[in-house]
Structure 1
Amino acid sequence: MAKPSPADIRKDNLPAETDASNRVLDMAEGKVQDIVLDTIDAAQSQYTEAEYKKVLRKIDLVLLPLMWLCYGTQQADKTSISTQATFGLREDTGLVGQQFSWLSTIFYIAYLVGEAPGNYLMQRFSLNKTLFVCMFCWGVIVLSIAFTHNFAQLMVLRALQGLFECTISPAFLLITASFYVSREHTMRSIIWGTSNSGMDIITQLVMYGIGKGAQANPNSFSPWRYISIFLGCWTILMSIFSLLILGTPNEVRWLSEEEKRITAARIVSNKTGSSRQQFKKWRWDQVWITFKDPQTYFFFFTVIINSLPNGGTTAFGNLVYVSFGFTPLETLAKGTIPQNIVTIVWFLFVGIVSLKKPNSRFILMVVSTIPAFVGMLALGLLPKEGMLWTRWGLYLMAVTGRLPGLLIWTLLPSNVAGRTKKSVTGTLIFIAYCIGNAVGAQTFQAKWAPQYIPAIIICGVMYAVECVLFIAWRFYYTIENRRRARKIQELGLTAEQSAHQGQVYAESDMTDRENIHFKYSM
């Protein structure tokens, strides 16, 4: 069958059900039209599977190790106050009542404030340079925390840290979307997502050594201050590497022009648009489409529910272990590190399953919430004293609940098309993330210390609510995919024609909501 000509993307040839005809016509003129057709032509006929695999191996070898290190660094920086609290931070800075909780809450409030401008800057300018500036600045801030002496100083620095740190997660989602096809999103995101636990193990071992050394040689410079110096210097170093290596395919220097074309050709099948056209104009029509899309609200409310237990356990996780009867050093060796090891194993297991069984993400997310719900609820209902290792085991079960937070994010590059729509949806996801984490930190009330039983029960209930939302979300995608399949059948298009037209629309920056040929991944 003959391949459709450039005229196929003219206004009078667009399906009647889309209301974006004028826009696609405009986008398909001149240089953009040439790039769109060249990219689709390259995807359909010009490269072999061996050439694709060769470029993919290069991308994996260059990108994933540094993404792992950088993403793990931001997690270590963000959550370090939990460990620092066990090494004298609260006592040295005179924190009382809910002040320690506010160090997490203010971080996420500032994170929220920075989301919209951060995403705008990454779309309007260079993702690579924006990420470098933000990472360098928050490294300096983490280093400065070592020299604080009171609550006010800590609050200011934690707020600034959240303001600059907010760019890395949306940046990594955009990088994943621009280098990988949909079926690869889950495994690649899990690989760099395991760094939250992997780097935490490494930094916890370093912090264990710092704490051990400080106990053996006590002086006025407390161990928690050395922890900030170590983390700040490491972050600054990683920011320099991010400047040299990270970015979209068009920004990086380690791909040749031909390799960049191959990369764009690979991801045409996503129907979410490649970065080859370099759309930088902010599209207000896509903003309105985002807010009319039901999946936007699934993203928003599910992320809030998911982040509530995360916000509490991130800040108070080590203190919960101390409440079991562990010392600060035992908390690191017998609590945090085993938790992180189990997290990595579970993440990798889910990643392998997702490769072998496509469209299994929602099933895996539902399965992951069940042990977390059982573990947290049982922990909250146990007698308040004794049963140390039973408590340890139940709290360990909750680590499976970390997985859905990452898998939700992988749905963004897979199921949201249109450059501005991706940015707006990403911003809303991270606003929800901030709201959930900020509120979650406040659920651990000082009056409930040291066991925090009501807060732990609340976390367990949130896992159950999250499970119900996943089931409803998957049902929505199933209904929507069936509706689109019926519409394509009514138009009399073959599977090949539908796939080609869907790719043309996606490369012309059409959103998933408008593109009737787009199929949601589950």
Structure 2
Amino acid sequence: MLSLLDINSCHLRIGHSSRDRATTFTPTMHITPDPRASADDNNTLRGEEKASALQAYEKAAFKQDPSTLTEKNAITADVQPGDVEPVSVEQDGDTIRETDYTPAEYKTLLKKIDRFLLPLMWFCYGIQQTDKTALGTQAIFGLREDTNLVGQQYSWLTTIFYITYLCGEFPSNFLLQRWAIGRSLSIYMLCWGICVICIAAAQNWSHLMALRGLQGFFECTISPGFLMIVSTWYRREEHSARALFWQSANAGFGIIASLVMYGIANHALHHESGIAAWRCISLFLGSCTIVLALICFVLLGSPKEVRWLSKEEKRMAAARIVRNKAGRDVTGIKWSWDQTGEAFIDPQLYFCMFNAFLSSVPNGGLTTFANIMLNSFGFTELQVILIEIPRSVGLYTRKVPNRRMYVMAASCIPPFVGLLGMAFLPNTPAYRWTKWGMYFMSVPYVLALFLAWTLIPSNVAGRTKKTLISSATFLGYCVGNMCGSQIFKSEDAPRYIPGTTGASGLLCLAELEAGEIGEEQWGWEREQERLGRELGERNVTDLQNPHFRYTM
């Protein structure tokens, strides 16, 4: 198979299959010479002209009669039109090709990228999730009593968070597209960290509503921002594992946070004259967020923005992701109205949005009320923190490619059963460990949501279109969490039967949807398997690029 077309001379470098040796042959009269060998000696061809010259050369090369092939002029008899894979990108006036570097060099660079980015994103995402969901822990340590919350006021603290989360989604995505992504994210983190600290001083429902609303507005940037970072640093086959690594902080960071909150709460309960436990938790989490924001300001960003890569390493980072065919690392790119129209007719937008809604309804309910429900099973407040043992997943989808949709469907089955068990088993001490087990069966629903997010950088091309589909996904996520926090009514406490059964029914729909789409997209993927990567570097979308390959 032809692996590189050297357009700087009239030679073709051939990379055969494993049964052949890599050989370089000189073209003869049967092959039209590379037009750039004469027309571009002074490096005058740029952009579309260069692409046109390249395409003409490819066509001329494939006109050679196989019967006239000799060792001198042969390309290979098994080369077919479409086998040519010229992979290059223009950056700062420099033509960068994927083949400019060896696999060993790419491997070394990848290790360095992982070493800097993954731990940082893991901690940032973990503190964001803990800041958002700590309300449930604070509720069992006196927040509701100290601020005189009644009726559905507690539920509204989650609902207002996601209302402002939703309202801030589009403008924040637009700003992330226009400005340096690393510095933008760090400023947003600093702002919500201040909000979390201020919650410690709240005295009533109005104070909490205002602070939770501001917190949601600033936190909305973290997930879409990190997905953009993944797509600008990693190849498509690496997206799922990397995204699930930092998303695993949703559970993994919770181990650290739970242990610290246990210590804070235990100390506060034994020193009742001091600051209330729930206020201390806000002070601790807000301080951690501000420290991480300052670190992000220095270390986080796209390949062009960071300071921990040399100039040559930045060039290599750009060459690594040329094969993505999903656009270059460009900030300040103009909004594309053509991509806007295409996004709204693409089924991916509606699948991601609907899946996010179905998966987020139980998320909104459980993150708000899980600790209260566990407390009602017969566990003490401190025991509730300890038995909230975090969970993480992700390896399976990396080892078995094109199976994410099926994993999403399967991940909805245990939560469906677990939520029904929580609703209908008796709420007595004899059943508390059984109901605790049912609660943990409800955990895998987060996998359906997280995997849907990883499909966006892998299957959507074009910066504007990617931004819109990310925003639509988070629209479904926000609306689902709003509904989830409201279907758990105070009058249904402590079992919340209507809320848990409603959430289980929506998970059943999510399972059916993911399974059906998985079957359809698998067939589409087999039909669309083609070669050719240069179109992705012209800022075209996945639907405009006939060579774009979807990954499930």
Q: Give the TM-score taking structure 1 as reference length.
A: 0.88
Could you tell which deviates more after superposition, 255-264 or 4-13? 4-13
Q: Work out which of the residue numbers 354, 367, 374 in structure 1 matches 2:410.
A: 367
Counterpart of 2:266 (choices 212, 225, 248) is 212
Structure 2 residue runs of 5 or longer lacking an equivalent are: 8-35, 37-47, 57-87
The corresponding residue for 2:129 is 75
Aligned: 1:42 with 2:97: yes
Aligned counterpart in structure 2 of residue 149 of structure 1, from 203, 211, 215: 203
2:238 aligned residue (179, 184, 194): 184
Q: What residue number does 1:515 align with?
A: 545
Q: Quote the Cα distance in structure 2 between the aligned partners of 1:281 and 1:408.
A: 27
Moved more, 5-14 or 62-71: 5-14
Describe the shift of the 1:470–1:3 C-alpha distance in structure 2 as closer, same or farther (beyond 3 A): farther
Q: Does 1:322 align with 2:375?
A: yes
Tell me which amino acid in the other structure corresponds to 2:431: M
Q: What SS is found at the alignment partner of 1:248?
A: coil
Match of 1:456 among 486, 493, 500: 500
Q: Deviations over 1:164-183 (max 9, x none)?
A: 01001111000111111111
Alignment of 1:296-315 (within 5 A): 296-315=349-368
> Using the alignment, how far apart are the partners of 2:332 and 2:245 within structure 1?
28
**Which residue in 2 is equivalent to 1:171?**
225
- TM-score, with normalisation over the residues of structure 2? 0.83
Q: Which residue in 2 is equivalent to 1:356?
A: 399
- Counterpart residue identity of residue 369, structure 1: C
Tell me the residue number matched to 1:410.
454
2: CA distance, partners of 1:36 / 1:11: 21
Structure number with higher relative contact order (C-alpha < 8 Å, ≥ 6 residues apart): 1
Percentage of matched positions with identical amino acids: 45
Q: Is the 8 A contact 2:181 2:301 kept in 1?
A: yes
Aligned counterpart in structure 2 of residue 473 of structure 1, from 510, 517, 520: 517
Q: Which moved more, 1:199-208 or 1:116-125?
A: 199-208
Residues 381-417 of structure 1: per-residue CA shift (max 9 Å, x gap): 2234341111111111111222121111110110110
Q: Kindly indicate whether the alpha-carbon contact (under 8 Å) linking 2:186 and 2:296 is maintained by their aligned counterparts in 1.
A: yes
The aligned runs of 1:94-105 (5 Å cut-off) are 94-105=148-159
Aligned length: 478
2:113 counterpart residue number = 59
How much does 1:270 deviate?
1.7
* Comparing 310-319 and 261-270, the one that deviates more: 261-270
What is the rounded CA distance, in whole Å, between the counterparts of 2:528 and 2:124 in structure 1? 39
Structure 1 stretch displaced more, 52-61 or 503-512: 503-512
Q: C-alpha deviations, 1:246-280, integer Å up to 9, x for none?
A: 111111111112111211211122221231x4461
Superposed CA deviations along residues 10-39 of structure 1, whole A, max 9, x for unmatched, are 59979xxxxxxxxxxxxxxxxx97439966
Give distance in 1, aligned partners of 2:516 and 2:51.
Answer: 35
Q: In the TM superposition, what is the alpha-carbon distance from 1:185 to its structure 2 partner?
A: 1.1
Residue number among 406, 421, 439 corresponding to 1:378 in the alignment: 421
What is the root-mean-square deviation of aligned Cα atoms in Å? 2.0
1:137 aligns with 2:198: no
Change (3 A) 1:130 1:37: closer
Partner Cα distance (1:49, 1:34) in 2: 21
SS in 2 for 1:163: helix
Instruction: Please tell me the residue identity of whatever aligns with 1:92.
Output: D
What is the match of residue 430 of structure 1? 474
Question: Which secondary structure does the structure 2 equivalent of 1:88 belong to?
Answer: helix
Decide whether aligned partners of structure 1 residues 516 and 3 sit closer, same or farther in structure 2, where only a CA change above 3 A counts. Answer: farther
- Give the CA deviation at 1:478: 2.5
Deviates most, 3-12 or 211-220: 3-12
Which ranges in structure 1 are unaligned for 5 or more consecutive residues? 15-31, 486-494
**1:311 and 1:511 mapped to 2: Cα distance?**
33
